[in-house]
Each structure stands twice: as C-alpha cells, then as structure tokens.
Amino acid sequence: MLATTKQARADAVWSGTPGTDPSKTRAARARSQPKTARVKPIIVRQVPQFVEPQLCTLVDRPPQNPGWAHEVKFDGYRAQLHVQHGRAVIRTRTGLDWTDRFAAIARDANALPDCVIDGEVVALDQRGLPSFAALQAALSEEKSEDLVFFAFDLLFEGREDLRTLPLMERKARLEKLLAAGGVGNRIRYVAHLESNAEAVLSSARKMGLEGIVSKRLDAPYRSGRSGSWTKAKCRAGQEVVLGGWTTEHGTLRSLLAGVHRDGRLVYVGRIGTGYGRAVVKALLPRLQKLTREKSPFAGDNAPPKERNVRWLKPTLVADIEFAGWTGSGMIREAAFKALREDKDASDIVAEMPTQTPPSATIKRGHAKVSAASAGPSVMGVSISNPDKALWPDAGDDRPVTKLDLARYYESVGEWMLPHLTGRPCSLVRAPDGVGGEQFFQRHAMAGMSKLFDTVKVRGDSAVYLQIDRVEALAAVAQIGGLELHPWNCTPNDPEVAGRLVFDLDPAPDVKFAAVIAAAHEIRDRLKAVGLVSFCKTTGGKGLHVVTPLTGKNAVTWPVAKNFAHLICAQMAQDSPTSYLDTMSKSRRAGRIFLDYLRNDRTSTAVAVLSPRARLGATVSMPLAWKDVKPGLAPQAFTVRTAPRLLGRTNAWKDYAGGARSLAAAIVKITRASGERRA
C-alpha cells in the first residue's frame, strides 16, 4: 500500500503484516526516534492563506543514519490543502488556487476541521501506482473524481502553528486528524519507513516508483529547500522486441522497439542511444540478416514506412534502460544495453512492476531484507570492500569510500554519458586510494566487467576500453577507477576530431584570476572564427575551454591540432609575458601554458565531472560562462558537492547545439592570419 486513511504503522508504505499490535509498533517507533526538547505549537491570530512549501534537496543516495523517515516520492502535483469553517481550498506549490481543478478532493476535505495540510495530488494507474500521464489526462478532461490527495505533513491545526514541532509529532497529529475526519479514500495519510534506506530505495525501484523522499524526524518545517528533506530517484529497465532500425550516413541510428499485447507486437518507441562502435559492429550484421520488406508491428500506432526505416523479422530481444512509460504506452528516453540471447521474443511483454511481497520488505525492528539487497549494489554492480577509503576526505573531514564513488557516478552518470559514449576511454586507477599506487590504463584487461565496451583503433593491436552505458561507471568504481580520460574524437570515429580542448595550465606563481581571464580570451578568439566554447574546471589549478565540432565537413587530427596550436600561438605572441605555447620549464614562471597538445588522435583530456585522483576529491566541473569570474573556487567542486550543484546550473545546456564546423573556422582564421601578417 502507498498510503492509508486509517491510522498506519510506520512500516505501512508498501506492505504490512496482518495481526501486528499497533501499540507495540508505536512503542518500538518511540524508542527508535531521536530525543528532542519538547516544543509547543504557536497560537496565531489568523492562519495564512498560503505557506511556502518545504522542498527536497536532490541527493545521490538516501541518508543511512537513524532518525530519518522514508516516504514514497509521488509523481504528481504538490498541493496545499486549507480548510476553514468547512470550506476547503487547494493551492499549488506557488500559491495558485486550483480548487476547481481538484474539486472532488476539495468536496471531501470540507468534512475536516480547520487545518493546513501539505501533500501531493496524484492519479493512480490500474496497479495503484502514481501515473503522471493519468494525472495530466484527468486534468485536461476536467475529471477529478479519481484523483487522490496524499497528505504527508500538518502545518496548522485550528489556530495552532505546528511548523516548529518535530516531523514525528506533526505526522502523528496528521494521522489522528485524518482518521477522525471521515474523509473517504481521496485523502490518504502517507505512512513511512524508518528502516535501511538503500533497501527502501531498492524496493521503490523494483516497483517502478519515481523514488523516495527522506525526512528528518526531529526537524521542524522549513519553507524552501533544506537538508532535512532529501529525495533519491530510481531508474527503470525493460526487455523489448526489435522490429525495425533506422540508418544515417550508412550506420545505425536507432532501433524500433515493440512488446506483445493481446497476441500482437505493438510499437512502443525508438531506442536512440547506447550504440558504441563495438555494439554497432556486432549488431549491424544481425540486423542486416533479419531485414525484411514488411513491418512486424500491428495496431493503430504502428510506425509508417520512412525512407531510412528498415523492418526486421521480430526475433531479436534487447535489454534497454529508459525513463519510464508515457500514458500512451511508449518508452521515454530509451538507451540500448544489450541483446538477450536467453529470451524468446514471443514471451516479451511490457513488464509493469508489481508490489514487493511482504517477505522481501524491510521491517523496522528486525530488518528483514531480501538476499539480493543484502550487499551494497549500485546500478546492478556489486561493490566489494565498499568502506575502503579512496580519498581521506572531500574537504569535509569524512573519508570518501569506494561505495561513495560508485554512488557519485550513479548520480552524474546520465550527465556524463554523452561526453563519453563512442570514444576510447582511459582510466586512472588507484585501488588502494589516492595515497597508494596509481596507474593509467588504456586497454581492456582480462576479467573486466562485461558492462565495458571495447574498440579497436588503427595502429594498435590491443583493444581500448569504451564506456557506452551508465552502469559501466559503477564498474569503473568497483575497480578503483578514480579518473576518466576519453579521447576527443567524434563518437564512433577515432580518426576525426569531435571537440577541441584548450588546457590552461598556470605556473605555481600565477593567480587564478589570470587563468579566468585567459579562458575568456580563448572564448573570444574562438567566437571570432565562428566556434562556440564551454568551460570547466580541471579539478586542479587550471581550466579547460572546450569547443564541440560538427561531423559535417569534419577534419582529421593533424589539421585540428594545427588549428588549436595557431589559436594558442597567437595568444602567446600577443601577450608573451602572460602566455606561452611550449612546455619549456625555464620560461614557465609567471605564465600560463596554453596546452593545445590534448588535440591529437590518441591524446585525452579528463572527462567533464570526472573525479581527480588527488587530495580533496575534486571533480572537473562544468561551468556557465557567467560563473567564470573572480571568486570562482575550483576546490569547492567535489564528489560530495557536485551532484547537488549540478542540479542548480544550466551549464553546458546547449553543448550539443553548439557544435560548429572546424573547416569553416580554419578558413576564417587563415584569412585573419594573412591580414595580421600584411
């Protein structure tokens, strides 16, 4: 069960044990909760019409310490229910009056005594799980009868302002108020768990829920975002039948997916990402062999035949990861993971999650956990020696463990993946942490995880590693991979430049303000020849300026390197006391080395958001240009702070759209260079 209108035990979010004595449950809960000083409610003259809601801070994992309550993260509309003198008003999180849109809930709430309740309006699907698509449909059709208000906090009761009370007391009063109110099934109390947070999140993931919200039981209600409420999100996966594929420039662009419904193969959408060079090489022959003239899809939503669409005999089964199902039964943001050789295509249906049985549910007090969740696992990868410290701290006097690293990669993996996919990637490994031995690994090794892809490049008999799926990042953490260094080529084509990286490396006596000024100067010079650039910290004392290149009129590496050198040489020529474009140690003092050498075929640069194998657990943080200014502190971006800060910035938002032709830029800079000489 997700919630209830009756008084509920603290473990009643997903399941309950029949026959449990409520008094014993409450007694156990009271013993486990933190002791806080007794706080009394404040009596107010007038209840405000609207209270700014408390918001959650996105975290990479839920808090593990005792004293936290874990609730379902609902996929709906946040709402505030005000009842005064038998009349209910429902406002949105911004204070808009949506009482008419949630009319059925408001009618039921009229029976409540005067109060202000924080909650979420949700539509439930046939399985009793939140469905945002169903909610949107209900609102567009002005049908509120099937909507549910999930109540999770009580802010006012009568003229008593309860916000200063600890959450555990506010929830107890809310539970009692709703139980006595006789409001029916449209207004439900949200119960919670106080058990192992990881197991709760795992259970939520298996059920297909959006995630969990964790709240400090001893905390008051604070408007705005604070650390006492956090949220952790889930991921989803599905097996599909391949019924077609599309091509672009002679290679694989996307796969057309389907599942069986009512004995027919119905189309559920396209799989648009996840195709590394090795994947394409292995997959294309099988697709070509199974290509046929007739579409295998049936039903009204079967895709039409387009010029670049080829149909398949529906025998291949693929495993995908995706963001969820739309209301019309289509997959969202799907990425290819692998073919499933052990599955019969005729058995593939949409796998709608079922509720976790009681035997697999965590119970507070005796912490019953399924065997699968007994050990730490991140994105399906078991993490051995999870408590091994890889960094002494991240500027917070707390060791950063191997499990912390895996969870960091999980939290930023989707952001990183477009900058890694399709490119050979080297690793800096430190299995015993930054204080132990470190080594730079370019090639795949025997016994490595199958989550890694591999790629062969011209001139090297050994295969290179490649990271084409987010789960591979957890495998990186498992082997002590602290840094990621991808090639800068075009995805799936190592011979062609896909981006340029200008590494601004200051001498020890150069102030960081000068590095900031140098980054802006490179940006201006690139803009003058038609290129768009982006900035990131290096995780050290410098900055990287990155410019994405389009595959159209692509150039080879020697040409790209010469262009990058020309930009740097002109800067050094114009300001010889500030910059140099050679690695001469004798001339470094007081200058910034403009390192263009990253722009060569087999050269690498640390990936955006990659941690660094150095003290402080810093990362290479993407920056908005407006933030590249005096006062910027690169050491503030660590494996602990970056996920939270990433959610607050639009840095690199238009990176893909910023790709420009290097060939056109070369024409412009060549013309400008000629004018300089003249």
Q: Is 328 exposed, middle or buried (0-12, 13-18, 19+ CB in 10 A)?
A: exposed
User: Which positions are annotated as active-site residues?
Assistant: 73
Residue 186 shares a structural domain with residue 47:
yes
Residue 102 shares a structural domain with residue 199:
yes
As a whole number of angstroms, the distance between CA 351 and CA 184 comes to: 32
pLDDT at 535 over 70: yes
Cross-strand pairs, 309: 246
Residue 221 shares a structural domain with residue 265:
no
pTM of structure: 0.50
357-396 pLDDT, tens digit each = 333 333 333 333 333 333 478 887 888 889 999 999 998 8
As a whole number of angstroms, the distance between CA 431 and CA 550 comes to: 37
Give the chain's largest Cα–Cα span.
93
As a whole number of angstroms, the distance between CA 401 and CA 461 comes to: 35
Residue 218 shares a structural domain with residue 246:
no
Residue 291: closest CA among 271, 306, 267, 311: 311
Structural domain range at position 538: 496-608+652-673
Residue 248 shares a structural domain with residue 391:
no
At 503, list the tokens.
């590494």
Question: Does 572 map to a domain?
Answer: yes
Q: Where are the beta strands (DSSP E) in 110-235?
A: 115-123, 147-157, 160-161, 187-189, 211-216, 224-233
613-653 pLDDT, tens digit each = 999 999 999 999 999 999 999 999 999 999 989 888 889 98
Mean pLDDT calculated for residue range 534-547: 97
Question: Does 11 map to a domain?
Answer: no
552-580 pLDDT, tens digit each = 677 889 999 999 999 999 999 999 999 99
Question: Does 617 map to a domain?
Answer: no
pLDDT at 54 over 50: yes
As a whole number of angstroms, the distance between CA 564 and CA 535 comes to: 16
Q: What is the pLDDT of residue 343?
A: 67
Question: Does 24 map to a domain?
Answer: no
Question: Does 642 map to a domain?
Answer: no
Q: How far is CA 675 from CA 82, 540, 563, 592, 670, in A?
A: 71, 38, 17, 27, 9
Among 181, 216, 233, which residue terminates a domain?
233
Among 347, 370, 399, which residue terminates a domain?
347
Residue 264 shares a structural domain with residue 150:
no
301-314 pLDDT, tens digit each = 888 888 889 999 99
Among 326, 347, 368, which residue terminates a domain?
347
Residue 200 shares a structural domain with residue 253:
no
Helix (H) or strand (E) holding 440: strand 439-441
Q: What is the pLDDT of residue 8?
A: 33
| Structural domains counted in the chain | 4
User: Does residue 48 or residue 321 have the better pLDDT?
Assistant: 48
Q: Around Cβ 342, how many Cβ atoms within 10 Å?
A: 6
Residue 546 shares a structural domain with residue 663:
yes
Share of the chain above pLDDT 70, in %: 87
486-503 pLDDT, tens digit each = 999 998 889 999 999 999
Judging by DSSP bridges, how do beta strands 147-157 and 187-189 pair with one another? parallel
Residue 277 shares a structural domain with residue 219:
no
User: Does residue 231 or residue 111 have the better pLDDT?
Assistant: 111
Q: What is the pLDDT of residue 654?
A: 86
Among the residues of 304-461, which ranges form H helices? 402-416
Question: Does 76 map to a domain?
Answer: yes
